[in-house]
Amino acid sequence: VQLHESGPRLVKPSGTLSLTCAVSGDSFSSPKWWSWVRQSPGKGLEWIGEIYHSRSANYNPSLKTRVTMSVDKSKNQFSLRLTSVTAADTAVYYCARVRASAAGLFDSWGQGILVTVSS
Amino acid sequence: DIQMTQSPSTLSASVGDRVTITCRASQSISSRLAWYQHKPGKAPKLLIYDASSLESGVPSRFSGSGSGTDFTLTISSLQPDDFATYYCQQYNNFSWTFGQGTKVEI
C-alpha cells in the first residue's frame, strides 16, 4: 500500500488547511480506519484524528473543534480540513493507514507534506 | 491523555553497538505499544507492535519488550541504516499518543 499527501503548502493565518491523501494498493471498500498525524518543527508526533470507510470519525480532543475528515471512495482518497489555523499549526502532516485488526496501530504512512502557516 | 516518555532523547552510538531505548507510559497500557523508525523526508516505518511482535520484513536485530508502563526497544547490533529517530506509541487508550522520540546518531 502507498499513501501520498497533497495540498497547499502555504496557508494564511485564520485560514483553512486542506489536505488529501491518495491511497493505492488498498481499497476503501474494505472496512478500516484512516488517520492523520502531524509533526511540528522540533516536536514529536501528534495524532490528529481518524476516519472510517463508512465516514465515522474520531478526533484528537485538542483539535476537535477545528478538524473535519472525509472520505471519497470513488477516488480512493481521504481528506483533512483544519480551520482557523495559526503558526502553531505549521507542521509536516502525514496520512496513515490503521491496521484492521488493531485500532490505533499505524502500519503504513505517507512521506508527509510540510504545511506552513504564514501571511 | 496518556503521556509517553522516552529516554534518552539522543543517543550516540557506533556500528555494531547494542542499543536500548526506553519508553514509559503515564498509566498502564497493557501491551498495546508500537515502535516506529523515522528518517528525515521519509515515511515513518512500523517496527514493533503489541510491545514485542516484529512487523513483517523488519530485521531480527530489532526487538521489543515490556508491558504495563515500561517498555524497551533494543537493536542488537546497530547497522548504518539504523541511524534514525525512534518513536514509541500507545494504542490502548483513546486518543493515541506518541513519545517525543529518540534520535540515534553516530
pLDDT tens-digit map of B30-73: 999 999 999 988 999 999 999 999 999 999 999 999 999 999 99
Specify the pLDDT at position B89. Answer: 97
The answer to whether A44 faces chain B, any CB pair under 8 Å, is yes
Ordered per-residue pLDDT tens for chain A, 119 residues: 999 999 999 999 999 999 999 999 888 777 889 999 999 988 889 999 999 876 789 999 999 999 999 998 889 999 999 999 999 999 999 999 999 888 889 999 999 999 999 99
Contact B98 A44 (CB under 8 A): yes
What CA–CA distance (Å, rounded) separates A36 from B100? Answer: 17
Specify the pLDDT at position A54. Answer: 66
How big, in percent rounded to 5, are the helix, strand and coil portions of chain A? 5, 50, 45
Specify the pLDDT at position A29. Answer: 75
Nearest to A47 among B45, B50, B95 (CB): B95
Three-state SS annotation for A49-79: EEEECCCCEEECCCCCCCEEEEEEHHHCEEE
Residue B75 β-bridge partners? B19, B62
Specify the pLDDT at position A42. Answer: 83
